[in-house]
Chain A
């Protein structure tokens, strides 16, 4: 009798310690779901979803407090990927997101720039180079085309221009032969 109680208690203690140790040793940092949602979002940090950046939106989606159709730069592709990841039903894109935008790049009209640094402070990815009373310029390779630099500019010298397609960035189009007259199989 005593033996049984003793062995069961020892086992309980041993497993308890094991569980306790595992909880500390293999602790999951952060919410892996947020990470996975964040990986799908295009990281333009544009705020068009109504959240201050991609990660806050990812957190809101993970907490089920936001729809998955609020990301215009991600478009339908991102929405479908999110629906797939979260097991939700695909929903039509919402508001601004409905018109899928072509990729753009911010361009500063350098002769008009007054060097106020307001756009530098607005850029979420530090893609604008300049200093007070010095001409600013956009580092094209870093710009995500989010457009957050446009509103603060007091002289409206920033424009969004569509990305120029060259032989390197050109993509084969989806085949549009007479084939498309055929009904979808």
Chain B
């Protein structure tokens, strides 16, 4: 049963490590549906890209499956109410994130009635549906890559005109220890997955489908083969791949199946492939066939710290601590809480966090399973990290430069091809937390890039402002110049008799004074004196004297106004 079709040649990626898989603990129990929580906490950002925009307000009643936040921009995904109830809060809440910070969430108080909103009609033959309608349903269902990357699926199934897709790779490898949610999904719901694969394949126009499953999951392989045979899909094949971490990495899986490498900094679509997780395929089937949005997922609760390790099908937004209770609660051994697997997951400081679309596993590890980091010693340049690196990088070189905070140099050594799988840290005999250094360097690099873009933006704005100020100043000057020219034109031409006074007002005063003097002289010649200078009272005479005195004063100019 584990055999592949004759002629199917598998390739090998560089490095990789064999790890104890620790999967049996959680596959011993059947998948259960988690009970409905009192409160659902739905983060607005559960995907890569722009944060979703709330469509509801506090106090609004919501129905199960109702879109409560819509996608903003192309690379984004909507969020749906996982159950019916009332919106009680739209605020920042703790979310599963390595930073431990809060992020905007919509909190719904459930009413226990599980009343569905009106869904698009179910379709018996999904491939009879219009292509645009199918894409619309997938986009509006809020589906993101459920393998952990959470990239909006609506974008991924639309690779653009430049990329012709020949192969659809379905990732059922689930290579990380402890995690079994994809395994259990394949065992139990292979039919749904196959339907989703058929839809994806149709939308991508892929000629062949390769469903890759690691050889440590014989039940899943059998179930998927049976479902595939029953569906009668042509040029589709379940390919059994050897168990080797990290064969479930997109680039590694493509290399195993085709021998081709995805270009550095590129995407698989550039070489004609699209890779999709099995759970994503199942969600696509729900969205297109039943018109049902993504409101639940499988999550593995496992580790030495969990009493009854199990896979639960839980509503998105269910608090993790309630899920742990349904898995029998913690044993006394729980030492560290990890979201995701032991290799690529991140530590949580507490469990009052909601289940998000991207959470595939909650590992409550015992001290034995996840020992506290031991003090690192100096790098002895053994080169084991380079041997283990599946991306064929030089972790040792990267480490030196990251430690020296020489970010440019780390980029020159292809830092961004690092998939943070943790193989290098795992094999390091000096216990150096290599991946932590690379995460730091990646963060610092994107911070620098953002800073550079901000500076460039500020410089352009400053230049625009300076240009505007200059233009306004020039305009003001030009206006002033125009006014001056207009005034100069209006001014009467200087008289021929050589009146030097440039001011027309002065000239007018002079002329008036001249006229008054002439008139006075003429009257004096005729022997007429002013008629009002006789019979003056004493007060009037005094006033006249004072005026005469002022007029005679040498520093007092004649009144002009």
Is B45 located at the chain interface by the 8 A CB criterion? yes
Is B374 located at the chain interface by the 8 A CB criterion? yes
Q: In the bound complex, do residue B459 and residue A54 qualify as a contact, i.e. CB atoms below 8 Å apart?
A: yes
CA distance A185 to B381 in the complex (A): 12
Q: List, in ascending order, chain A residues with CB within 8 A of B405's CB.
A: 174
Who on chain A is nearest to B450 by CB? Answer: A169
Is B552 located at the chain interface by the 8 A CB criterion? no
For residue A125, give the distance in angstroms from its CB to the closest CB of chain B. Answer: 4
Q: In the bound complex, do residue B458 and residue A45 qualify as a contact, i.e. CB atoms below 8 Å apart?
A: yes
Q: Which of B433, B454, B456 contacts A175 (CB 8 A)?
A: B433
Given contacts A53-B462, A142-B461, A166-B101, contact A177 B376 (CB under 8 A): yes
Q: In the bound complex, do residue A172 and residue B455 qualify as a contact, i.e. CB atoms below 8 Å apart?
A: no
CA distance A170 to B465 in the complex (A): 32
CA distance A54 to B432 in the complex (A): 41
For residue B474, give the distance in angstroms from its CB to the closest CB of chain A. Answer: 18
Q: Which of B99, B375, B432 contacts A170 (CB 8 A)?
A: B99
By a beta-carbon cutoff of 8 Å, the part of chain A in contact with chain B is 38, 41-45, 53-54, 124-127, 142, 144, 165-168, 170-175, 177-179, 181-182, 185
Who on chain B is nearest to A183 by CB? Answer: B378
Q: In the bound complex, do residue A43 and residue B455 qualify as a contact, i.e. CB atoms below 8 Å apart?
A: yes
Q: List, in ascending order, chain A residues with CB within 8 A of B464's CB.
A: 126
Q: In the bound complex, do residue A125 and residue B436 qualify as a contact, i.e. CB atoms below 8 Å apart?
A: no
Q: In the bound complex, do residue A179 and residue B440 qualify as a contact, i.e. CB atoms below 8 Å apart?
A: no
Who on chain A is nearest to B440 by CB? Answer: A172
Q: In the bound complex, do residue A172 and residue B373 qualify as a contact, i.e. CB atoms below 8 Å apart?
A: no
Q: In the bound complex, do residue A45 and residue B462 qualify as a contact, i.e. CB atoms below 8 Å apart?
A: yes
Q: In the bound complex, do residue B97 and residue A125 qualify as a contact, i.e. CB atoms below 8 Å apart?
A: no
Q: In the bound complex, do residue B461 and residue A170 qualify as a contact, i.e. CB atoms below 8 Å apart?
A: no
Q: In the bound complex, do residue A172 and residue B462 qualify as a contact, i.e. CB atoms below 8 Å apart?
A: no
Q: Which of A38, A142, A178, A182 contacts B378 (CB 8 A)?
A: A182
CA distance A6 to B358 in the complex (A): 83
Q: List, in ascending order, chain A residues with CB within 8 A of B439's CB.
A: 172
Q: List, in ascending order, chain B residues with CB within 8 A of A175's CB.
A: 433, 436-437, 440
Is B379 located at the chain interface by the 8 A CB criterion? yes
Who on chain B is nearest to A174 by CB? Answer: B440
Who on chain B is nearest to A124 by CB? Answer: B462
Q: List, in ascending order, chain A residues with CB within 8 A of B103's CB.
A: 166-167
Q: In the bound complex, do residue A177 and residue B433 qualify as a contact, i.e. CB atoms below 8 Å apart?
A: yes
Q: Which of B95, B443, B456 contacts A167 (CB 8 A)?
A: B95
Q: In the bound complex, do residue A179 and residue B101 qualify as a contact, i.e. CB atoms below 8 Å apart?
A: no
Task: Indicate with 1 or 0, residue by residue over B37-68, a CB within 8 angstroms of chain A CB atoms.
Answer: 00000000100000100000000000000000
CA distance A124 to B464 in the complex (A): 10
Q: In the bound complex, do residue A182 and residue B376 qualify as a contact, i.e. CB atoms below 8 Å apart?
A: yes
Is B113 located at the chain interface by the 8 A CB criterion? no
Q: In the bound complex, do residue A43 and residue B375 qualify as a contact, i.e. CB atoms below 8 Å apart?
A: no
Who on chain A is nearest to B104 by CB? Answer: A166
* Minimum-distance CB pairs A-B, first 8: A178-B375, A179-B376, A171-B443, A170-B99, A43-B455, A43-B458, A172-B439, A43-B459
Who on chain B is nearest to A179 by CB? Answer: B376
By a beta-carbon cutoff of 8 Å, the part of chain B in contact with chain A is 45, 51, 95, 97-99, 101, 103, 373-379, 405, 432-433, 436-437, 439-440, 442-444, 447, 451, 454-459, 461-462, 464-465
Q: In the bound complex, do residue B458 and residue A172 qualify as a contact, i.e. CB atoms below 8 Å apart?
A: no
CA distance A177 to B374 in the complex (A): 9
Q: In the bound complex, do residue B95 and residue A38 qualify as a contact, i.e. CB atoms below 8 Å apart?
A: no
Q: List, in ascending order, chain B residues with CB within 8 A of A53's CB.
A: 462
Q: In the bound complex, do residue A167 and residue B379 qualify as a contact, i.e. CB atoms below 8 Å apart?
A: no
Q: List, in ascending order, chain B residues with CB within 8 A of A165's CB.
A: 99, 101
Q: List, in ascending order, chain B residues with CB within 8 A of A44's CB.
A: 458
CA distance A168 to B44 in the complex (A): 12
Q: In the bound complex, do residue B462 and residue A177 qualify as a contact, i.e. CB atoms below 8 Å apart?
A: no
Q: List, in ascending order, chain A residues with CB within 8 A of B377's CB.
A: 182
Q: In the bound complex, do residue A185 and residue B373 qualify as a contact, i.e. CB atoms below 8 Å apart?
A: no
Who on chain A is nearest to B374 by CB? Answer: A178
Q: List, in ascending order, chain B residues with CB within 8 A of A182's CB.
A: 375-378
Q: List, in ascending order, chain A residues with CB within 8 A of B98's CB.
A: 170, 172
Q: In the bound complex, do residue B443 and residue A172 qualify as a contact, i.e. CB atoms below 8 Å apart?
A: yes
A127-B461, A167-B103, A170-B98 given. 11 additional CB < 8 A pairs?
A: A43-B454, A53-B462, A124-B462, A124-B465, A167-B101, A170-B97, A172-B440, A177-B436, A179-B375, A181-B375, A182-B377
Given contacts A175-B436, A179-B433, A182-B378, contact A170 B442 (CB under 8 A): no
CA distance A53 to B233 in the complex (A): 67
Q: In the bound complex, do residue B455 and residue A125 qualify as a contact, i.e. CB atoms below 8 Å apart?
A: no
Highest count of chain A CB atoms <10 Å: which of B377, B444, B458: B458
CA distance A149 to B101 in the complex (A): 31
For residue B41, give the distance in angstroms from its CB to the closest CB of chain A. Answer: 15
CA distance A168 to B443 in the complex (A): 11
For residue A169, give the distance in angstroms from its CB to the closest CB of chain B. Answer: 8
Q: Which of B95, B440, B451 contacts A42 (CB 8 A)?
A: B451
Q: List, in ascending order, chain B residues with CB within 8 A of A173's CB.
A: 440
Q: List, in ascending order, chain A residues with CB within 8 A of B465's CB.
A: 124-126
CA distance A185 to B464 in the complex (A): 48
Q: In the bound complex, do residue A185 and residue B379 qualify as a contact, i.e. CB atoms below 8 Å apart?
A: yes
For residue B461, give the distance in angstroms from its CB to the closest CB of chain A. Answer: 4
Q: List, in ascending order, chain B residues with CB within 8 A of A54's CB.
A: 459, 462
CA distance A43 to B463 in the complex (A): 10
For residue B465, give the distance in angstroms from its CB to the closest CB of chain A. Answer: 5
Q: List, in ascending order, chain A residues with CB within 8 A of B45's CB.
A: 167-168
Interchain residue pairs with CB less than 8 A apart (7): A43-B456, A44-B458, A45-B462, A165-B101, A175-B437, A178-B375, A181-B375
Given contacts A172-B443, A182-B377, contact A43 B437 (CB under 8 A): no
Given contacts A43-B462, A126-B465, A177-B433, contact A167 B99 (CB under 8 A): yes
CA distance A78 to B559 in the complex (A): 69
CA distance A165 to B377 in the complex (A): 33
For residue A54, give the distance in angstroms from its CB to the closest CB of chain B. Answer: 7
Q: List, in ascending order, chain B residues with CB within 8 A of A177's CB.
A: 373, 375-376, 433, 436
Q: List, in ascending order, chain B residues with CB within 8 A of A167's CB.
A: 45, 95, 97, 99, 101, 103
For residue B457, give the distance in angstroms from its CB to the closest CB of chain A. Answer: 8
CA distance A156 to B432 in the complex (A): 51
Q: In the bound complex, do residue B101 and residue A185 qualify as a contact, i.e. CB atoms below 8 Å apart?
A: no
Given contacts A167-B103, A175-B433, A177-B433, contact A41 B455 (CB under 8 A): yes
Highest count of chain B CB atoms <10 Å: which of A41, A126, A171: A171
For residue A151, give the distance in angstroms from its CB to the closest CB of chain B. Answer: 18
Q: List, in ascending order, chain A residues with CB within 8 A of B457's CB.
A: 142
For residue B48, give the distance in angstroms from its CB to the closest CB of chain A. Answer: 11
Q: In the bound complex, do residue B433 and residue A171 qualify as a contact, i.e. CB atoms below 8 Å apart?
A: no
CA distance A84 to B461 in the complex (A): 27
